[in-house]
Amino acid sequence: MDITAIYPGTFDPVTNGHIDIIARAARLYNEVIVAVAVNSNKSPLFDIAQRVALLEEVTANFDNVRIVGFDNLLVDFAKQQNAGVILRGLRAISDFEYEFQLAGMNRRLSPDLETVFLTPAEQYEFISSSMIKEIARLGGDVSSFVAKVVQDGLIEKFNRG
């Protein structure tokens, strides 16, 4: 069966936890579309073009992964991309309630679209983009949490040398 999965998020910035989910999804599905969301409820550090470019760079070694920005309803975007699965990452039990509600709403809006939850490898369970930004903003070392290109982008954003 030929299945396309969508892994949506703001990816501001993309972390090693995100990359772990992408790598495992790339083994499970024929195609994985990493859908970079324009979220008007958030004020991203990196604009959509920068987030797409960073993701393209850190996923370049995956032949079946495509990076696409989107600004419409996820279920509509999934239909446009002929995707059958929405991938969501769960780091901790605290993520579950929100993700469960989101999955239920998406199922109601598009009954043919399945939501699949993946958990990151143990070493990435605690990583979040907002924590990474805070550490970088305060001049901390984020090299074990993000790819070098992302670390360089954070340093540039926060004017740290």
With pLDDT > 90 as the criterion, what percentage of the chain qualifies? 84
Report the distance separating Cα 92 and Cα 42, nearest Å.
22
Tell me what pLDDT residue 94 has.
73
Q: Are strands 114-118 and 85-89 parallel, antiparallel or unpaired?
A: parallel
pLDDT at 122 > cutoff 80: yes
Spatial CA neighbour of 22 closest among 40, 37, 9: 9
pLDDT at 1 > cutoff 80: no
How much is the pTM? 0.93
pLDDT at 161 > cutoff 70: no
For residue range 65-103, what is the model confidence (pLDDT) as tens digits? Answer: 999 999 999 999 999 999 999 999 988 777 788 889 999
Catalytic option among 51, 88, 129, 133: 129
> Residue 90: CA atoms inside 13 Å, Cβ hemisphere, count?
17
Report the distance separating Cα 45 and Cα 30, nearest Å.
32
Whether 41 and 10 have beta carbons less than 8 Å apart is answered as: no
Catalytic option among 91, 107, 110, 157: 91
Question: Among this protein's residues, is 107 annotated catalytic?
Answer: no
Domains and CATH numbers, the chain: 4-123 (3.40.50.620)
Question: Among this protein's residues, is 42 annotated catalytic?
Answer: yes
Question: Among this protein's residues, is 91 annotated catalytic?
Answer: yes
Question: Among this protein's residues, is 43 annotated catalytic?
Answer: no
